[in-house]
């Protein structure tokens, strides 16, 4: 009997992650480019730069480098950290860690790409509160996440376009369906409004959407 697997960011996924994510996420590189450009406004001397859910470290190593700062990437999956260590120089600190209980202060910039959707709904506010508490005044939290829309007609259209995008990037119908099934109970997407409300709940009063395409959104929040 067929039993769909549960999606995990394991060692096997880490080896093909950079290719797979571009097959699966609209404008992945454009989101990265936007974060990299905006980070110039926030990185300050002698502060910490934290990338939450760093995966293979691709965004972390592209951020503008300030030699007086600590650049730290954390991920809950050891396989991702191992892959990142193959790519990044020693000047980057890579750690297995979970933002739910990760302790750090003096951050001028925190980034997080495609992570919040994989945090349980009951824990999302805790994760974001920890991020808020870790930032200096004037520091920025810039994140990207997959979202849902409460409008059924638009939701269905976005899903169709999303599956078309995956097919155009070489994924088969079977691969698309298997991935979708594997994410059941794992992926917990919110609406844009719910994300912004969480930002407000933890203390952010300056927030904006810097990029949105289909069912993916980029949000910046300044402390």
User: 67: how many CB neighbours lie within 10 A of its CB?
Assistant: 7
Whether 208 maps to a domain, the answer reads yes
- CATH number of the CATH domain containing 169: 3.40.50.150
Mean pLDDT, rounded, for 53-63: 97
Whether 161 maps to a domain, the answer reads yes
Could you tell me what percent of the chain has a pLDDT over 90?
Answer: 80
Look-up of token digits 């829309």: 149
Confidence of residue 204 (pLDDT cuts 50, 70, 90): very high
Whether 205 maps to a domain, the answer reads yes
Whether 16 maps to a domain, the answer reads yes
Domain that holds residue 95: 11-20+42-110+119-222
Question: For the segment 152-189, what is each residue's pLDDT rounded down to a tens digit?
Answer: 999 999 999 999 999 998 888 787 777 766 766 678 99
Mean pLDDT, rounded, for 41-67: 97
Asked if residue 9 has pLDDT above 70, the reply is no
Which pLDDT belongs to residue 8? 63
Question: For the segment 134-155, what is each residue's pLDDT rounded down to a tens digit?
Answer: 999 999 999 999 999 999 999 9
Asked if residue 1 has pLDDT above 50, the reply is no
* Model pTM score: 0.92
Cα-Cα-Cα-Cα dihedral sign, residues 148, 149, 150, 152: negative
Whether 46 maps to a domain, the answer reads yes
Whether 195 maps to a domain, the answer reads yes
Residue 58 Cα to chain centre, angstroms: 12
Whether 84 maps to a domain, the answer reads yes
Query: Torsion angle of alpha carbons 88, 213, 123, 79, nearest 10°?
Result: -30
Whether 28 maps to a domain, the answer reads no
Q: How many domains does the chain have?
A: 1
């Amino acid at each position: 009997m067929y039993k769909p697997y549960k999606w995990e960011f394991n060692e096997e996924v880490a080896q093909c992650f950079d290719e797979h994510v571009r097959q699966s996420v609209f404008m992945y590189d454009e989101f990265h480019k936007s974060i990299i450009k905006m980070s110039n406004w926030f990185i300050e001397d002698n502060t910490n730069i934290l990338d939450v859910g760093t995966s293979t470290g691709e965004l972390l190593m592209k951020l503008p480098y300030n030699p007086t700062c600590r650049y730290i990437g954390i991920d809950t999956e050891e396989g991702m950290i191992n892959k990142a260590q193959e790519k990044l120089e020693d000047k980057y600190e890579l750690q297995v860690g979970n933002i739910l209980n990760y302790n750090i202060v003096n951050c001028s910039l925190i980034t997080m790409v495609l992570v919040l959707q994989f945090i349980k709904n009951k824990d999302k506010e805790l994760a974001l509160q920890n991020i808020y508490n870790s930032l200096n005044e004037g520091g920025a939290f810039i994140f990207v996440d997959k979202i849902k829309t409460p409008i059924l007609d638009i939701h269905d259209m976005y899903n169709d376009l999303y599956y078309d995008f995956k097919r155009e990037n070489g994924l088969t119908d079977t691969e698309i369906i298997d991935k979708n099934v594997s994410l059941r109970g794992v992926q917990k997407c919110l609406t844009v409004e719910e994300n912004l409300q969480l930002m407000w709940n933890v203390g952010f009063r300056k927030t904006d959407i810097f990029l949105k395409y289909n069912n993916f959104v980029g949000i910046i929040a300044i402390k």
